[in-house]
Amino acid sequence: MDTKEIAVQCLKDEMQAISDLIPLLTDDFAKAVEMIRLCNGKVVVTGVGKSGHIAKKIAATLASTGTPSFFLNPLDAYHGDLGMIAKNDIVMAISNSGKTEELMRIIPYITNRDIPIIAMTGNRESALAKSAVCHLNIFVKKESCPLNLAPTSSTTATLALGDALACALIYARNFTAQDYKAFHPGGSLGARLAQRTPGAEF
Protein backbone atom coordinates (compact mmCIF):
# COMPACT_ATOMS: atom_id res chain seq x y z
CA MET A 1 0.00 0.00 0.00
CA ASP A 2 1.15 3.55 -0.67
CA THR A 3 0.27 6.49 1.55
CA LYS A 4 -2.80 7.44 -0.48
CA GLU A 5 -4.15 3.90 -0.15
CA ILE A 6 -3.58 4.07 3.60
CA ALA A 7 -5.53 7.34 3.72
CA VAL A 8 -8.40 5.86 1.69
CA GLN A 9 -8.55 2.82 3.95
CA CYS A 10 -8.54 5.05 7.03
CA LEU A 11 -11.48 7.06 5.70
CA LYS A 12 -13.38 3.89 4.80
CA ASP A 13 -12.77 2.41 8.24
CA GLU A 14 -13.96 5.56 9.99
CA MET A 15 -17.01 5.82 7.74
CA GLN A 16 -17.84 2.21 8.59
CA ALA A 17 -17.37 2.87 12.30
CA ILE A 18 -19.98 5.62 12.15
CA SER A 19 -22.41 3.48 10.15
CA ASP A 20 -22.00 0.65 12.66
CA LEU A 21 -23.33 2.92 15.42
CA ILE A 22 -26.81 2.99 13.88
CA PRO A 23 -27.90 -0.51 15.01
CA LEU A 24 -26.37 0.20 18.44
CA LEU A 25 -28.82 3.04 19.12
CA THR A 26 -31.28 1.99 21.81
CA ASP A 27 -34.04 3.63 23.83
CA ASP A 28 -31.26 5.03 26.00
CA PHE A 29 -30.50 7.57 23.27
CA ALA A 30 -34.01 9.01 23.43
CA LYS A 31 -33.81 8.86 27.23
CA ALA A 32 -30.56 10.83 27.20
CA VAL A 33 -32.08 13.48 24.92
CA GLU A 34 -35.07 13.88 27.20
CA MET A 35 -32.91 14.00 30.34
CA ILE A 36 -30.81 16.77 28.86
CA ARG A 37 -33.81 18.65 27.49
CA LEU A 38 -35.42 18.72 30.93
CA CYS A 39 -32.19 19.45 32.82
CA ASN A 40 -32.36 22.65 34.88
CA GLY A 41 -28.59 22.77 35.26
CA LYS A 42 -25.67 22.13 32.95
CA VAL A 43 -24.32 19.11 31.11
CA VAL A 44 -20.82 18.41 32.44
CA VAL A 45 -18.86 16.43 29.84
CA THR A 46 -15.78 14.59 31.03
CA GLY A 47 -13.16 12.21 29.69
CA VAL A 48 -9.42 11.52 29.69
CA GLY A 49 -6.85 11.68 26.89
CA LYS A 50 -8.31 11.51 23.38
CA SER A 51 -11.77 11.00 24.87
CA GLY A 52 -11.18 14.24 26.76
CA HIS A 53 -10.47 16.10 23.53
CA ILE A 54 -13.68 14.74 22.02
CA ALA A 55 -15.56 15.61 25.22
CA LYS A 56 -14.45 19.24 24.88
CA LYS A 57 -15.86 19.41 21.36
CA ILE A 58 -19.14 17.78 22.40
CA ALA A 59 -19.51 20.24 25.27
CA ALA A 60 -18.81 23.15 22.91
CA THR A 61 -21.37 21.92 20.37
CA LEU A 62 -24.02 21.45 23.04
CA ALA A 63 -23.34 24.90 24.48
CA SER A 64 -23.66 26.59 21.09
CA THR A 65 -26.94 24.84 20.30
CA GLY A 66 -28.97 25.64 23.38
CA THR A 67 -27.69 23.21 26.02
CA PRO A 68 -25.59 24.86 28.76
CA SER A 69 -22.52 22.65 28.96
CA PHE A 70 -18.84 22.62 29.87
CA PHE A 71 -15.88 20.23 29.91
CA LEU A 72 -14.44 19.00 33.21
CA ASN A 73 -11.02 17.34 33.37
CA PRO A 74 -11.34 14.27 35.66
CA LEU A 75 -7.86 14.88 37.07
CA ASP A 76 -8.80 18.41 38.11
CA ALA A 77 -12.15 17.14 39.37
CA TYR A 78 -10.38 14.71 41.69
CA HIS A 79 -8.41 17.63 43.13
CA GLY A 80 -11.26 20.00 43.95
CA ASP A 81 -13.10 20.76 40.73
CA LEU A 82 -15.90 18.33 41.61
CA GLY A 83 -17.34 21.44 43.21
CA MET A 84 -18.12 22.66 39.70
CA ILE A 85 -20.86 20.03 39.46
CA ALA A 86 -24.16 21.21 40.94
CA LYS A 87 -27.12 19.14 42.09
CA ASN A 88 -29.23 19.98 39.02
CA ASP A 89 -26.48 19.02 36.55
CA ILE A 90 -26.02 15.92 34.41
CA VAL A 91 -22.61 14.32 33.86
CA MET A 92 -21.76 12.83 30.48
CA ALA A 93 -18.75 10.57 31.01
CA ILE A 94 -16.80 9.31 27.99
CA SER A 95 -14.43 6.33 27.96
CA ASN A 96 -14.07 3.86 25.12
CA SER A 97 -13.09 1.06 27.50
CA GLY A 98 -15.52 2.16 30.18
CA LYS A 99 -12.88 1.61 32.84
CA THR A 100 -10.41 4.50 32.51
CA GLU A 101 -8.86 4.73 35.97
CA GLU A 102 -8.65 8.52 36.23
CA LEU A 103 -12.29 8.85 35.22
CA MET A 104 -13.60 6.00 37.36
CA ARG A 105 -12.07 7.54 40.49
CA ILE A 106 -14.59 10.40 40.42
CA ILE A 107 -17.69 8.36 39.52
CA PRO A 108 -18.56 7.33 43.12
CA TYR A 109 -18.41 10.96 44.23
CA ILE A 110 -20.87 11.86 41.47
CA THR A 111 -23.31 9.01 42.08
CA ASN A 112 -23.22 9.56 45.85
CA ARG A 113 -24.60 13.04 45.20
CA ASP A 114 -27.44 11.57 43.11
CA ILE A 115 -26.21 13.34 39.99
CA PRO A 116 -27.27 11.30 36.93
CA ILE A 117 -24.60 10.00 34.56
CA ILE A 118 -24.89 9.45 30.83
CA ALA A 119 -22.09 7.10 29.81
CA MET A 120 -20.56 6.90 26.35
CA THR A 121 -18.49 3.72 26.15
CA GLY A 122 -17.64 0.92 23.77
CA ASN A 123 -18.41 -1.69 26.43
CA ARG A 124 -21.95 -1.92 27.78
CA GLU A 125 -20.76 -4.33 30.48
CA SER A 126 -18.14 -1.92 31.81
CA ALA A 127 -18.17 -0.36 35.27
CA LEU A 128 -18.89 3.07 33.80
CA ALA A 129 -21.82 1.82 31.73
CA LYS A 130 -23.32 0.07 34.75
CA SER A 131 -23.00 3.19 36.91
CA ALA A 132 -24.94 5.28 34.41
CA VAL A 133 -28.62 6.10 34.12
CA CYS A 134 -28.31 5.50 30.39
CA HIS A 135 -25.58 4.18 28.12
CA LEU A 136 -24.70 5.35 24.61
CA ASN A 137 -22.75 2.61 22.84
CA ILE A 138 -19.68 3.76 20.85
CA PHE A 139 -18.30 0.29 20.14
CA VAL A 140 -16.04 -0.02 17.08
CA LYS A 141 -14.67 -3.25 15.65
CA LYS A 142 -11.19 -1.86 15.07
CA GLU A 143 -9.23 1.36 14.94
CA SER A 144 -8.38 2.77 11.51
CA CYS A 145 -4.79 3.18 12.73
CA PRO A 146 -2.63 0.63 10.81
CA LEU A 147 -1.43 -0.64 14.20
CA ASN A 148 -5.01 -0.88 15.50
CA LEU A 149 -3.81 1.09 18.52
CA ALA A 150 -4.20 4.86 18.21
CA PRO A 151 -7.74 6.09 18.95
CA THR A 152 -9.01 6.89 15.46
CA SER A 153 -12.22 5.10 14.50
CA SER A 154 -13.31 5.13 18.15
CA THR A 155 -12.85 8.89 18.56
CA THR A 156 -14.57 9.55 15.22
CA ALA A 157 -17.52 7.41 16.31
CA THR A 158 -17.71 9.17 19.66
CA LEU A 159 -17.66 12.59 18.05
CA ALA A 160 -20.35 11.55 15.56
CA LEU A 161 -22.61 10.26 18.31
CA GLY A 162 -22.09 13.50 20.23
CA ASP A 163 -23.15 15.40 17.11
CA ALA A 164 -26.20 13.15 16.77
CA LEU A 165 -27.14 13.98 20.36
CA ALA A 166 -26.77 17.71 19.70
CA CYS A 167 -28.84 17.47 16.50
CA ALA A 168 -31.61 15.59 18.30
CA LEU A 169 -31.64 18.26 21.01
CA ILE A 170 -31.83 21.06 18.41
CA TYR A 171 -34.98 19.37 17.10
CA ALA A 172 -36.41 18.64 20.57
CA ARG A 173 -35.88 22.23 21.72
CA ASN A 174 -37.16 23.83 18.49
CA PHE A 175 -33.84 25.65 18.48
CA THR A 176 -33.68 28.12 15.57
CA ALA A 177 -31.01 29.91 13.54
CA GLN A 178 -31.91 33.09 15.43
CA ASP A 179 -31.27 31.28 18.71
CA TYR A 180 -27.93 30.11 17.35
CA LYS A 181 -27.09 33.66 16.31
CA ALA A 182 -27.33 34.78 19.95
CA PHE A 183 -24.61 32.28 20.90
CA HIS A 184 -22.34 32.77 17.87
CA PRO A 185 -21.84 36.45 17.03
CA GLY A 186 -18.20 36.10 15.95
CA GLY A 187 -16.30 34.80 12.95
CA SER A 188 -17.49 34.24 9.38
CA LEU A 189 -20.47 32.23 10.59
CA GLY A 190 -21.50 35.06 12.92
CA ALA A 191 -21.22 37.48 10.00
CA ARG A 192 -23.43 35.26 7.84
CA LEU A 193 -26.02 35.01 10.59
CA ALA A 194 -25.99 38.79 11.10
CA GLN A 195 -26.93 39.27 7.43
CA ARG A 196 -29.79 36.82 7.56
CA THR A 197 -33.41 37.76 7.88
CA PRO A 198 -35.58 35.62 10.20
CA GLY A 199 -36.76 32.48 8.46
CA ALA A 200 -34.22 32.73 5.64
CA GLU A 201 -32.17 29.72 4.58
CA PHE A 202 -28.36 29.59 4.53
- What was the pLDDT predicted at 196? 63
Kindly give, in sequence order, each residue whose CB lies less than 8 Å from that of residue 147, ignoring residues fewer than 6 positions away: none
pLDDT tens per residue, range 64-93: 999 999 999 999 999 999 999 999 999 999
Q: Distances from the Cα of 55 to the Cαs of 42, 87, 112, 199, in angstroms?
A: 14, 21, 23, 32
- 3-state secondary structure at position 70: strand
Kindly give, in sequence order, each residue whose CB lies less than 8 Å from that of residue 161, ignoring residues fewer than 6 positions away: 21, 120, 136, 138
Phi and psi, residue 166, nearest 5°: -65, -40
**Which secondary-structure segment (H or E) carries 201?**
none
pLDDT tens per residue, range 90-142: 999 999 999 999 999 999 999 999 999 999 999 999 999 999 999 999 999 99
**Which secondary-structure segment (H or E) carries 120?**
strand 117-121
DSSP β-bridge partners for residue 69: 43
Cα dihedral sign, 97-98-103-105: negative
- What was the pLDDT predicted at 185? 72
Is the pLDDT confidence value at 153 over 90? yes
The matching CATH number, chosen from 2.40.50.100, 3.40.50.10490, 3.40.718.10, 3.30.1370.10, for 3-175 is: 3.40.50.10490
What is the DSSP-derived secondary structure letter of residue 146?
A: T
Within 10 Å of residue 83's Cβ, how many Cβ atoms? Answer: 7
Q: Distances from the Cα of 82 to the Cαs of 47, 103, 164, 189, in angstroms?
A: 14, 12, 27, 34
Kindly state the percentage of the chain with pLDDT values over 70. 92
Closest by CA to 107, choosing from 124, 122, 88, 126, is 126
Instruction: Name the pTM for this structure.
Output: 0.91
Closest by CA to 173, choosing from 34, 41, 5, 77, is 34
pLDDT confidence band for 202 (50 / 70 / 90): very low
